Amino acid sequence: MGVSGRVAVVTGAASGQGRATSLRLAGEGAVVAALDVDAAGLASVMDEISDMGSRCRGLQVDVSDAEAVAAAFDEIEADLGRAYVLAAAAAIYPPGALSHLRDPEETARVFDVNLMGVVHCASAATRQMIEEGRGGRIVLWSSIGAGAAIAGHAAYCAGKAAIEGLGRALAAELGPFGITVNTIAPGAIDTPMISDAPPDEAYYEILPAGRPGTPGEVAHLVSYLCSDTSGFMTGAVLALDGGLSGINGAVRPDV
């Protein structure tokens, strides 16, 4: 059955990897609940999914607000049904700054969105999955920054490292309910989030893959983790980084 006919909640759905995930799951027959703070982006995603002949409900939600998240999941249940999939892609990546110089409120905001936003959504989704009694699929987003420092982004790296621990713990807790929890750790993916990163030419020298990844490639992995055939995979952290986490320095030989 996979996701066909089932409710998939996608956060950060208005752009980038969340948008690609929403479109991919909708194309596989899921009923998508798209969450984001970007109203215009949500409207665009809803239009595109509607043009595909699939159903989508867009909700403008700040995932860092626990009450707003709870209310959104209540609306989803009333309108679409209980969640079977949670793809928690929402995150922020503020401009780089040394930790001791960054505004403490901005640091707190990174943790509120990137970590607590995931906690709020996972808790709400889990309650619905357990009540429904059909199991479920939860996919969290980490980053290569969880295991390798990105100078100027200490709060982002710390929050993503916490997501990996959260994913493993939730997998242990929720296994008896037939719910899998896996975490993906993307590297350089061609989205607005890396718009200030090195140009594509640099990735040829840095990455074994020779290029940044695409949101569609991330969505393909999410699709597998939400499928019926992925039931034995849980508690995993899966790198999707073009080989970056396995190398030391430039990889192109000087021949």
* 156 is annotated as an active-site residue: yes
| Token pair 């049904």: residue | 81
Is 222 in contact with 139 (CB distance < 8 Å)?
yes
Residue partners of 141: CB distance under 8 A and separation at least 6: 17, 88, 89, 91, 118, 160, 163, 183, 184, 186
Smallest Cα–Cα separation from 26: which of 36, 34, 38? 34
Task: Compute the residue count for the chain.
Answer: 255
Q: Pairing relation of β-strands 237-240 and 83-88? A: unpaired
- Selecting among 156, 203, 204, 224, the annotated active-site residue is 156
Structural tokens at position 141: 């987003």
Closest to 8 measured CA to CA, from 114, 163, 28, 16: 28
What secondary structure letter does DSSP report for 2? T
Q: Is 179 helix (H, G, I), strand (E, B) or coil?
A: strand
Query: What 3-state DSSP class applies to 118?
Result: helix
Q: Which residues are catalytic?
A: 156
